[in-house]
């Protein structure tokens, strides 16, 4: 049985959003926010960064989501000191999971 997030993911994909866009929409919704400009910009990561088939949009999209929560966003903010560790763990997880096949 599919859960609520899985159902929402399928809805968004069915509406033509790519994987990186779906990830950011779900993250924004979790924060109670909308940002069509950011969603539009995330399409640059679709199908392996600009459609090149290279770096997966799920991986780069996930890195963007970590940055959404942990990176510096204005002059009054500081980057979360754990952000580099989060990037490292994402990279390791992705390599072990998605790249294993």
Residue pLDDT, tens place only, 57-89: 788 889 999 999 999 999 999 999 999 999 999
CA distance 25 to 38: 9
* Residue 99 reports pLDDT greater than 80: no
Could you report the per-residue pLDDT of 34-52, keeping only the tens digit for each?
999 999 999 988 877 766 6
Phi, psi of 85 (to 5 degrees): -65, -40
Identify the CA nearest to 38 among candidates 50, 47, 28.
28
Model-level pTM? 0.78
Q: Assign 83 to helix, strand or coil.
A: helix
Q: Give residues with Cβ within 8 angstroms of 43, minimum separation 6.
A: 18, 20, 21
Joined tokens for residue 46: 């679709």
Provide the pLDDT for residue 52: 63
């Amino acid at each position: 049985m599919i859960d609520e997030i899985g159902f929402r993911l399928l809805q968004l994909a069915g509406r033509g959003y790519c994987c990186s866009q779906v990830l950011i929409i779900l993250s924004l919704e979790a924060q109670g926010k909308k940002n069509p400009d950011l969603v539009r910009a995330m399409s640059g990561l679709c199908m392996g960064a600009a459609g090149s088939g290279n770096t997966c949009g799920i991986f780069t999209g996930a890195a963007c989501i970590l940055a959404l929560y942990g990176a510096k966003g204005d002059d009054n903010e500081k980057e979360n000191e754990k952000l580099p560790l989060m990037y490292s763990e994402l990279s390791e997880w992705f390599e072990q999971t998605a790249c294993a096949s």
